[in-house]
Structure 1
Amino acid sequence: MNSILEALYRGQLDPVEAIVPSHPEYRSLSRQISVQTEQWRNRLGEETFRELEEYFDLRSSVDSIYAEAIFQYGFRLGANLMIEAVGKR
């Protein structure tokens, strides 16, 4: 990657796909979710579980929209901090 601007322009920069949380509990919690998901699938049966998955897909969509808004806010805040820091020379 030559520059961030070039990568962004060419569609080579996708932070959502590049981010892997470094929190020490991330992988453990992900495994627990997988185990519990399978347990719920077995308890509820395929049809009811599919309905539950549709609900979780809706939740995920809302969470993604919220995460995007947080990202935009944080980016703007950082840019404004830099503008203010440079402008106060």
Structure 2
Amino acid sequence: MQNVLESLYYGDLVPHEQSASHSPEYRLLNEQITKSLNHWKKKLAEEDFNELEALTDLYYQVQEIDMASSFTTGFKLGATLMIEVLSGMSPPVPQQDT
């Protein structure tokens, strides 16, 4: 059995593929997007629809970058928490203003 690092290295563990794809809400929204795009494909001229598709492709690229950044930030936060827990260090308690 592979450990987590080996699974990541060999591509057996792909976090972005497991994000929201199992959520019923995700599937419903995805179906709505597909229906809407089909509607616009029928309504718009081919050139206009191609421009709309290019725009949605750009949006998905931005979304992928944002998801990668969120994953990295969350991973770093989790690692930092584990270091604090395992080292016995406790973070300073925030002081309340009076």
Query: Taking structure 1 as the reference length, what is the TM-score of the superposition?
Result: 0.84
Whole-angstrom distance in 2 between the partners of 1:29 and 1:8: 29
- Between Structure 1 and Structure 2, the one with more helix by share is 1
Q: CA RMSD in A?
A: 1.8
Identical residues among aligned pairs (%): 43
1:86 corresponds to? 86
- Is residue 40–residue 49 contact of structure 2 (8 Å, CA) maintained in 1? yes
CA offsets per residue over residues 29-78 of structure 1, 9 Å max, x none? 11111111100111112211001111111111111111111110000000
Whole-angstrom distance in 2 between the partners of 1:77 and 1:71: 10
In structure 2, runs of 5+ residues without a counterpart are 90-98
Higher relative contact order (CA 8 A, sep 6+): 2
Q: Looking at CA atoms only, which structure, 1 or 2, has the larger radius of gyration?
A: 2
In structure 1, runs of 5+ residues without a counterpart are none
Q: CA deviation at 1:22?
A: 3.7
Query: Taking structure 2 as the reference length, what is the TM-score of the superposition?
Result: 0.78
Counterparts in 2 of 1:1-89, with a 5 A limit? 1-88=1-88
